[in-house]
Structure 1
């Protein structure tokens, strides 16, 4: 697919233009120079065609992080098909801008000079000074006022090779092929075409960006020892055994008292990512003791009920005894994640990273599993016989039957006479029984109790 990259020094409005062209707020924008550090990629529709729009980090050499951002941006520019070089129209032309623009022209690909923040006649007069760049394609725009955006689209359009796929009406035979002879939907066939969304989460500086790079086998995310390097979520797709994994590296989470400036936006964006995550990779730094913050991060992730894998990163010089000891500590501290498998890796060296792929497939299969009603009731009945439900003030508490009503994660309804009397400890007992009976490692299980009296036409109010 045709790639269009936005390039420029920090704070010229690249992320704002990126959001405007894509049509929704994806990249974090702020007045703080260097807000974007990794490249954001998103499918963008330009009229009736699709392209990949890339929002790059600002070109700056003022620090270790920004030098890495600059190198990453220039590397991305070489791979792109169309280059939009942005400058700030509120200032006179800078020598650095001129040098960068000339170097981009050397790439021999369609390149445009985009002068942003042209909000007044005074700005237009200043923009004339950029004629000295000798650019063949110059656009004066104001992203904040939404002016000049269509002209940029007109420039990009002829170079995009792909057209949007036309919608085709599904035939009746094709539609019926999605169901078995009993009218049950064939979940497995549908799921095979569905990307698995994998969110990488953890506190700052545990190696999330290094893990993303190791997983997608590319320097996709900027890696630095400076805490808080990743601000925007960084997404990249990877194909393993004909399944598409959509990895997202989220911003590192620090103590609330230390969250400043744009990191507040980053935390909100991380939570938005988790809302749409199928599998979360909780990354822990095995070279440091488990902290309270690790537990809080795990709690944030589990709140959204994804499948979960715990990654012990920076496992360069440790053995089996250390793994058993740290695993025991994790089970003690993270009791609410008792279902999550634990794996040790070294993202920096790439050791054992390959074992994460099949583990993602396994926990995702469990995350989307549909349990047959007859088998589920058999397990629940056996569990209640082994450990009968406690009475409520001398009154019998009974489960009439159970049924799975949703997946991602598996959600099970218990139809009861006194649903409010189902104690959380007994619910936990049933969850453990279901998990062991159906081998549901890696996925949470949700149980809700429903009152038989409130059922109407197969639907009832959830208690």
Structure 2
């Protein structure tokens, strides 16, 4: 079968070439802040998490006469769209949807091939409002993305996997279409010397990874295939994550960034704590990072055999977890010992359950029944004598569960009330431990007086 083709299209200066370089893994395309740097189609081969395809970087789409240079550039881009199996339509999330995006969105729709909408330049959560505006293009759910920083790669991989022709198993190093189904991607992270490699060796039943009493032995993010109860698992062992100010060695800086990439590609992240010194500041920072990346979380209390004789300790640590980590309320906290091989089955049960919650979809009717009850029980406050009104809610995506609220003056909604809503969603729809995203969409109708 011929290699499938993916075309990257969009207005000038939305970050198409940066995305192209990110996918091919090399700086093949010239990148500059000035628009219009790319003039011709540039092609490259991509191997991306078991996917293999050819990607085409195109000139920015602009309305121009066919006889002009800009017009010829546009014709090259249109030819790439017609030849593509999949189109990545890129917008600038910080600028939002501009009038110039609409005709080209229509052009892409008419091409008849699958389209993945990418809201680029949304690093660190900036530009999310622009990303949500992208719904108006009618090209499906936008992926908040940062080509420059590599944020959103996991979501892009999942989207491509759903629309690209199935790869030849001989070319697929993940063999995700083999019997047993797709591999569940699990990253093991934590501070240095928390016992990550020892735990994975015990899971695999062999000394696959180098271990020892010294902290920081693992420098690479190692990917390993495993099977648990017939379920295919892809394990990622990562270098210990230390506070940035303490990282002096260049190799270790690279290793920590590799660990961050492993988190972004994972579906479930096991944060391994040392049970003898749990919930150190760095542990909380790592869990916060995983939550901010939108990954399902499970907390493993490793070396539990050293503290198991302390009565009431597990209950106390679970209470500490609830108090210290409200953003992942209800997260599974599993005692285990990688060295002794204890608690591994319970850990994996928690991992699979966390993945199911992370991927959960809830019908709009159920969400609005809950919303009506929640706002009746505790109405939103008034602003300048006018009550905030939430009219409607829906789930816009899963992985993690992401909900949008529509109404008037929602930008004035206090954080305490949004916390009330998030906690209510978590409890009503059984979403323990997973990150929950909430977007507020205020009506733009000037005649809408609520």
**Counterpart in 2 of 1:341?**
332
- Structure 2 residue corresponding to 1:314, chosen from 303, 307, 323: 303
Is 1:239–2:227 an aligned residue pair?
A: yes
User: What's the offset of the Cα at 1:363?
Assistant: 1.0
**Counterpart in 2 of 1:272?**
261
- Cα pair 2:328 2:432 within 8 Å, conserved: no
CA distance in 2, matches of 1:427, 1:218: 47
Summarize the alignment of residues 76-155 of structure 1 with structure 2, pairs less than 5 Å apart. none
- Structure 2 residue corresponding to 1:434, chosen from 406, 412, 425: 425
- Cα pair 2:327 2:435 within 8 Å, conserved: no
Summarize the alignment of residues 129-278 of structure 1 with structure 2, pairs less than 5 Å apart. 163-164=170-171, 193-259=181-247, 260-278=249-267
DSSP-derived class of the 2:406 partner: strand
For the pair shown, which has the larger CA radius of gyration, 1 or 2? 1
Structure 2: tracts of 5 or more residues without a match: 1-23, 27-48, 53-168, 173-179
CA distance in 1, matches of 2:270, 2:241: 14
Cα distance 1:295–1:44, how it changes in 2: closer, same or farther (>3 A)? closer
Is 1:332–2:323 an aligned residue pair?
A: yes
- Cα pair 1:215 1:354 within 8 Å, conserved: no
Query: Where does structure 1 differ by over 6 angstroms across 4 or more consecutive aligned residues?
Result: 42-45
- Cα pair 2:322 2:330 within 8 Å, conserved: no
CA distance in 2, matches of 1:404, 1:43: 29
- Cα pair 1:308 1:442 within 8 Å, conserved: yes
CA distance in 1, matches of 2:229, 2:359: 18
C-alpha deviations, 1:19-39, integer Å up to 9, x for none?
A: xxxx858xxxxxxxxxxxxxx
User: What's the offset of the Cα at 1:215?
Assistant: 2.5
**Counterpart in 2 of 1:405?**
396
- Structure 2 residue corresponding to 1:423, chosen from 387, 411, 414: 414
C-alpha deviations, 1:217-245, integer Å up to 9, x for none?
A: 33222111111101001111222344322
Structure 1: tracts of 5 or more residues without a match: 1-22, 26-41, 46-161, 166-191, 456-463
- Cα pair 1:220 1:236 within 8 Å, conserved: no
C-alpha deviations, 1:180-209, integer Å up to 9, x for none?
A: xxxxxxxxxxxx943221111111001111
**Counterpart in 1 of 2:273?**
284
Q: Across the two proteins, how many residue pairs are aligned to each other? A: 277
C-alpha deviations, 1:377-432, integer Å up to 9, x for none?
A: 11111110110001111112111111111010011010111220222211111111
- Cα pair 1:195 1:244 within 8 Å, conserved: yes
- Cα pair 1:409 1:445 within 8 Å, conserved: yes
DSSP-derived class of the 2:312 partner: helix
**Counterpart in 1 of 2:30?**
none
CA distance in 2, matches of 1:228, 1:258: 13
CA distance in 2, matches of 1:385, 1:264: 51
C-alpha deviations, 1:110-144, integer Å up to 9, x for none?
A: xxxxxxxxxxxxxxxxxxxxxxxxxxxxxxxxxxx
Is 1:295–2:280 an aligned residue pair?
A: no
- Cα pair 1:339 1:444 within 8 Å, conserved: no
Cα distance 1:209–1:387, how it changes in 2: closer, same or farther (>3 A)? same
Cα RMSD after superposing both structures: 2.6
CA distance in 2, matches of 1:306, 1:332: 20
CA distance in 1, matches of 2:387, 2:51: 60
Q: Which shows bigger deviation, 210-219 or 416-425?
A: 210-219
Cα distance 1:397–1:251, how it changes in 2: closer, same or farther (>3 A)? same
CA distance in 1, matches of 2:259, 2:186: 12
TM-score, length basis structure 2: 0.57
